Structure 1
């Protein structure tokens, strides 16, 4: 046995050197870094990913591209990254779905807590509760009265099972104690189009999707889901859900960056360092502010804190989803 170990030792040393060289040379010259987005192009997560890709190019010294792999509540794209080569050239940008997939997706083909390396959070995206332009209510108090008068008749849209709007809608119904008819769409765009056209009554969606519609007065806005009011000009006059009377109602859609399990530690550090630079990029911050998103500046940009936060979110959403009995597949 000792002889075998002695024979294998040089090979192990060579492998270690080669492994270290691979990490030191990251990113590989002329090899693009791909950020997989587990949702359709044009959606809020896709927009964040494309802004982030641009901001990461300089600190990483590489071409960064976006690949959309939508389906099954975001699990198809996530699985694509979980099974990818762990050389740091395939990354995942995912939202709150990292905390909801374990409950939403039956027979999920990976483990959120152990099949990924957590690279740091990117932003927080508030949600807004909006209604069709001809809805009789003009503020949240009037909306509550209208909801009570129209039980069993209210259509609440969402961008599909597992989407941010679906999650917010579930929490809103539970907080109100009123069951509404869920109307799922294949994306936020069609849902907002039907809301503007009056085919559905309400929608709770990310500011990345709703701010321009509110600003253009194409929809009625009733509240935001953050602990404090927002400073975005089009949203600054909207009350929080808590101010409006729904205690402890807070929904923020976060985005984080991930790599396949086993990605070398020093490659992870390079990506995390580049992410920290990207999050301070003035152009990136301006774009995120225009979307109503808040760039992360707290300790959640650190890898361990990012993972801890997602675990806390999983504990928050799991009972909500189990009570609703919904699945993304």
Structure 2
């Protein structure tokens, strides 16, 4: 018995001497945004990083890993150490990429831990400032008269604006010359400079340009009208004659597969707090984004939603014979 007590005391002394396991997080967290700095997803990422900082108790560092429609950044996170220190903020492209690309370096539904949805962002159809059209009806006439001459900008192959542009061409049944850029910012710069004609992009990137009158705005590509500022005057695509056209760009948060459940739970709890942060809500509202406040904030519902989006977008993209590679 005395020997047993001695062994127990010795074990307790040994455990007491070991350094305490660090509680997550004990160092900065990298949030990978798979697009260039200055674009709409980058704006959401930077706002979210600030909102997550307090509930997580850690610095959040944004790392922009642009290229190949967001797949480079997504792959970096899929291959990262599953310790919670490398996270991914991605948009609808994580779902559309499964159809846009013949091969992907990761499995969308298997190689990530789903942490929860963040927001939904309406798309807007805009044009160069000197485009001879002031309404969607005017634009439709101009497009019909300029078939084969229209330049449609996007933020890169596989981007949200690329997807919207592809679906828009299908809806109007007019082929356009698509001009891919390395991000939304350079695409917008050329639109402002009248180097390209039109672009379909997120309100996170177009609101300021629309409200300042620097671009022509023709429609919001979602099923409901927006309610703020100059955007409230925009008709929906459906109202403009594109019946059933409804596209919003949603954002979600992800971690590498195998990240410990305790870490996932802590990040999800922090995400829920961030989505209720008054400053974050104000910033998102100013960009026309709608914060997700339903069951999709939960990991399981988030993953279920992404799977449904894959099933919805895949047939449309494949039927059109559209591939990014």
TM-score of the superposed pair, with normalisation by structure 1: 0.89
Query: Please, which of 283, 289, 310 is the counterpart of residue 306 of structure 2?
Result: 310
Map 1:56-205 → 2, pairs under 5 A:
56-205=52-201
Q: Tell me how far 1:322 sits from its aligned partner.
A: 2.1
CA distance in 2, matches of 1:35, 1:189: 20
Kept after mapping to 2: 8 A contact 1:55/1:278: yes
Indicate the residue corresponding to 1:18 in structure 2: none
TM-score of the superposed pair, with normalisation by structure 2: 0.91
Q: Tell me how far 1:327 sits from its aligned partner.
A: 3.6
Which sections of structure 1, spanning at least 5 residues, go unmatched? Answer: 1-20
Q: Tell me how far 1:325 sits from its aligned partner.
A: 3.5
Do structure 1's residue 282 and structure 2's residue 288 form an aligned pair?
A: no
Kindly name which structure, 1 or 2, has the bigger radius of gyration based on alpha carbons: 2
> Structure 1, residues 75-115: CA drift from partner, whole Å, max 9, x if none?
11111111111111111100111101212233311100011
CA distance in 1, matches of 2:186, 2:56: 36
Q: Tell me how far 1:313 sits from its aligned partner.
A: 1.2
CA distance in 2, matches of 1:194, 1:139: 21
Equivalent residues, number: 306
Which sections of structure 2, spanning at least 5 residues, go unmatched? Answer: 1-19
Describe the SS at the equivalent of 1:258: strand
CA distance in 2, matches of 1:138, 1:191: 21
Query: Please, which of 242, 246, 252 is the counterpart of residue 246 of structure 1?
Result: 242
Query: Please, which of 227, 239, 251 is the counterpart of residue 255 of structure 1?
Result: 251
Describe the SS at the equivalent of 2:47: helix
Kept after mapping to 1: 8 A contact 2:36/2:182: no
Q: Tell me how far 1:320 sits from its aligned partner.
A: 2.8
Kept after mapping to 1: 8 A contact 2:67/2:182: no
Indicate the larger mover: 121-130 or 185-194. 185-194
Kept after mapping to 2: 8 A contact 1:73/1:104: no
Q: Tell me how far 1:321 sits from its aligned partner.
A: 2.4
- Aligned-residue CA RMSD in angstroms? 1.5
> Structure 1, residues 33-69: CA drift from partner, whole Å, max 9, x if none?
1111111112111111111111111111111111111
CA distance in 2, matches of 1:85, 1:194: 39
Instruction: Provide runs of 4+ in structure 1 moved above 3 Å.
Output: 323-329
CA distance in 2, matches of 1:236, 1:89: 40
Describe the SS at the equivalent of 2:230: coil
